[in-house]
Structure 1
Amino acid sequence: MIAFGGSIGTGLFLGAGSTIHKTGPSILLIYLVIGIFFFFMMRAIGEMMYSDPQQHTFVSFIGKYVSPRFGIFAAWSYWAELILAGMAELTAISTYLKYWLPGAPSWLVQLVFLAVLTLVNLSMVRSFGRSETFLSGIKIVAILVLILVGAYLIATHHQNPAGTHASLSNLSEGFTFFPNGFHSFINAFPMVFFAFQGMEFVGITTAETKKPLKVLPRAVNQIIGRILLFYIGSLFIIMAITPWRSLSQSQSPFVQIFELAGLPAASQIINLVVIAAACSTLNSAIFSTGRHLYQLAQESSGKTLKPFETVSKSGIPYGSVLFSAGMMILAPIISSFNGLGTAFTFIASISSDIYILVCILTMVAHWKYRRSKDFRADGFKMPHYKWTNPLTVALFVGIFITLFFNKETILPAVGALIWLIGFNIILSITNKRKKLTT
């Protein structure tokens, strides 16, 4: 459910119209390809977590098997990325709630939701699991309803208001792989890649389960199939109900399909769902950032991060959870200033691009793990890693390269490279100074 919470969010409910517009039915193939390679990455993470389930974050393996410097880079970059993701979801929640409460102050809405979900994370881990199950359940029910309603419309050959009919032929009629050109097809890959972001949350919770070695393999093997079913299944139904070119980019395709079905409360339903989706992602972000900061504090030799090592009787790293949630309070401040809002959007885009670099480093760490003395021959092994690992790295590198061929993504991609190079230069200088002083 944590992986559902991280992976199935506003990108599907609101952003699917944009991805469909770029490639049409070919988007199903892109989701399948990205989903398969995300499964390979999850198996790589799962294998390393299985060998050492006490690690609270998968990025710790980058420092262990690639290099300490890249480990620090990946850990802080991923923590910052999740903080920004949480802030973005807070902003989204206040925007969605204005549909019902147009006069409610955005900053107050954001503070209330942040406070409630922080309290959930500060209670027992069981409370977090239950809340995430409930929030993810709302999204899953919405998708299942869409699939069932869509299947009924297709079976009855429903006539749409525009005069078209619901039919499987809508997927094949006039089909071409590149309806808007090869460039649009390639640009859809990063969009789909980021839609799967959050699936790695499964590995983060391993150390806090009662039987991690039993839970982890089952969770990893099941999650990818279920997510592909929900993503591909819902998009397949949407494009079968109505010709994909008739879908609006600005409006959620879920709303459009429910309206075609004659459900006047469609917008109300979807607004509730997207709020649940945003809360679910925010809930997972608070949980994950707290664990990441806790791990960073444990691995740090300095005294600055020591307060973040504090753990409650129920095993919650409350110091790191409170600090991470506190950083997200910047969201209501930023939303009050238009200029800062634009800057935040740009920084969030850079952070998303850095996520690709972290994924690449994760696969490199797995490759080196397989050649280390820690390798467990009886472990939860990644299948055929000698070719699945390099292929996964090649795809991730290829997706990052495509960012430089789109005017909307080139500047954030350059920013991600500057962050990578600059961060490592600063670490190198800091290490040299430490050696000189000692």
Structure 2
Amino acid sequence: MSETVGDSKQPAKRGLKNRHVQLIAIGGTIGTGLFMGAGRSINYAGPAILLVYLIIGLFMFVVMRAIGELLYADPKQHTFITFITKYVGNRAGFFARWSYWLTIVFMGMAELTAVAKYIQFWLPHVPSWAIQVVMLVALTVINLIAVALYGETEFWFAMIKIVAILALIVTGIIMALTGFKTPVGDVAFSNVWQHFSLFPNGFGHFIDAFQMVMFAFVGMEFIGMTAAETENPRQVLPKAINQIPWRILFFYLGALFIIMTIYPWQKIPADQSPFVMVFELVGIKWAAALINFVVLTSAASALNSVIFSASRNFYALAFQSKASFLQPFKKLSHAQLPVPAVLITALMIGFSAVISVIPSITNAFSFVTSASTDLFLMIYILILVAYWRYRQSKDYLADGFLVIAPRLLVPMAILFFIFVFVTLFFNSESRIPAIGATLWLVLFGCVAYRQPKTLAQ
């Protein structure tokens, strides 16, 4: 069967193996938000943060199952964004295609900036822009050689994150079972529920925790795109997606539970990584360097995924546009890789190196990356709307990889993402980016409305 992207008839290489996807799927649900942001989220909600992760994990699983069902029904697609065009209309598709590509490019710029910051932990005198250029070139080359090499790189990036969390969980369990004592108190499972309160720092901070945790999950949809790049997507997709809830339970909730077991949650500072504090309590003097290495690989992994995902989306975008400047990006290399799309994506991400040497626009960059992250909520809503339209279409595959209880969970998920977006306006830190995302919705929405209702064949 000829594999296609968007409306193309050109074959696109599928070179990922099942083992790549399974481990990438685990790593894809674990971001720097857990390693660096867990302290702040625990500080906001206390042990109730476990409930926040469970709720958001449930609705992100609904999104992933919807993506999985769409890709299972039409496995020739390499990106789920094309389904928005197909089932919601070309105008919504135009908005989603460009918004999603730009959003993940900005996400890549933020990750590249973070990579440079983490490397400067060891090389403080090397300028940020130089580190960014070297790292971007290295990961771009990986994406240009073969899909399998991308998979192998992500495999080992994911392995590092998984080993770090497993080490934390095993260490915490041993400490709790042996009655280990630290300078901040006894290590005990009861630390988690001792003096429990659903809103220990007020209802407002509990709601703010939803925003923080929500953006720790952003990018999980890359798993669906990764699974679509395998030789047997219909076989791999269900396995990769169905294991997501167990990974969330074990890696996110397990890690947070153990952190609060070792370090009483009332004493965890918001501005420090709990992983660093925990490993230092155990006696690992180089804990800061260890966790810096883990978050460095986590950021590099995210950047690697962004180059992969954004280039596939841009390739599909080129086929769904009649614009002459996009036509060169339809080309594939002899290895059946979208080389021009990879290069333009890398070039766009590379602007972060320029930004790093112009301090006056750094704040504007922070604003843009925050606003673009908010756009993910709009994309998730559009995916769910596209899924609902698919269920009502003649394409519906009744014996496919079906969403569980869609009549209940899909509308609930849409309402939940709207709720999270609305809450952004009630927090002083997230309000201005939320206004920026809203302006993008209105202004670019008007541009999208000027497009034809249906895509020309």
1:116-136 deviation line (CA, Å, top 9, x unaligned): 010000011110000000011
Letter in 2 for 1:192: V
Q: 1:379 aligns with which of 372, 383, 400?
A: 400
Measured in 2, the distance between the counterparts of 1:263 and 1:19 equals 24
Residue 424 of structure 1: how far off its partner (Å): 1.9
Alignment check: 8 A CA contact 1:334 1:341 kept? yes
Map 1:27-426 onto structure 2 (within 5 A): 27-162=49-184, 164-426=185-447
Assess if the C-alpha contact under 8 Å between 2:31 and 2:217 holds in 1. Answer: no
* Counterpart for residue 20 of structure 2: none
CA distance in 2, matches of 1:302, 1:122: 25
Worse-matched range after superposition: 299-308 or 112-121: 299-308
Deviation string 1:42-73 (CA, Å, 9 cap, x unpaired) is: 11110111111122211111111112111111
| Counterpart-to-counterpart distance in 2, 1:233 and 1:280 | 22
TM-score (norm 1): 0.96
Deviation at 1:4, TM superposition (A): 3.7
Distance in 1, matches of 2:398 and 2:449, equals 36
Q: Give, in angstroms, the shift of residue 379 of structure 1.
A: 0.8
Amino acid at match of 1:91: T
Deviation at 1:427, TM superposition (A): 2.9
Q: CA deviation at 1:400?
A: 0.9
Unpaired runs of 5+ residues, structure 1, are none
SS in 2 for 1:311: coil
- Matched residues, number: 433
**Cα distance between partner residues in 2 of 1:34 and 1:230:** 15
SS of match in other structure, 1:367: helix
Runs of 5+ consecutive residues of structure 2 not aligned to the other structure: 1-22
The Cα offsets for residues 366-423 of structure 1, whole Å up to 9 and x where unpaired, read as: 1111000110111111111111111111111111111111111122112111111111
Distance 2:234 2:451 in 1: 38
Cα 1:75–1:430 shift into 2, 3 Å: closer
Conserved 8 A contact 1:122-1:318 = yes
* Aligned mates of 2:196, 2:363 — CA distance in 1: 38
RMSD: 1.5
Q: Is the 8 A contact 2:28 2:158 kept in 1?
A: no
Offset of residue 229 of structure 1 = 1.2
Cα distance in 2, alignment partners of residues 192 and 27 from structure 1: 9
Query: CA distance change for structure 1 residues 44 and 269 in 2, over 3 Å: closer, same or farther?
Result: same
Q: Distance in 2 between matches of 1:341 and 1:335?
A: 7
Cα distance per residue 1:179-233 (max 9 Å; x no partner)? 0101100111111111111111122134421111111111111133213310000
- Residue 23 of structure 1 corresponds to 45
1:267-299 residue CA offsets vs partner (Å, 9 max, x unmatched): 121111111111100000000010000000011
TM-score (norm 2): 0.92
Q: What SS does structure 1 have at the residue aligned with 2:72?
A: helix
Tell me if structure 1 keeps the 8 A contact 2:27–2:162. Answer: no
Q: Give distance in 1, aligned partners of 2:409 and 2:379.
A: 18
- What is the CA–CA distance in structure 1 between the aligned matches of 2:229 and 2:62, rounded to whole Å? 23
Amino acid at match of 1:56: H
More moved, 65-74 vs 176-185: 65-74
Q: 2:266 & 2:356 partners in 1: Cα distance?
A: 34
Q: Once structures 1 and 2 are overlaid, which stretch shifts more, 152-161 or 361-370?
A: 152-161
Shift of 1:174: 0.8
Query: What is the CA distance between 1:431 and its match in structure 2?
Result: 5.1
Contact 1:59/1:362 (8 A) holds in 2:
yes
Conserved? CA contact 2:199–2:206, under 8 Å: yes
1:7 positional shift: 3.2
Measured in 1, the distance between the counterparts of 2:195 and 2:25 equals: 36
Q: 1:196 and 1:296 mapped to 2: Cα distance? A: 25
Deviation at 1:428, TM superposition (A): 3.0
Q: Distance in 1 between matches of 2:163 and 2:62?
A: 27
3-state SS of paired residue (2:186): coil
SS in 1 for 2:181: coil
Segments ≥4 residues shifted beyond 6 Å: none
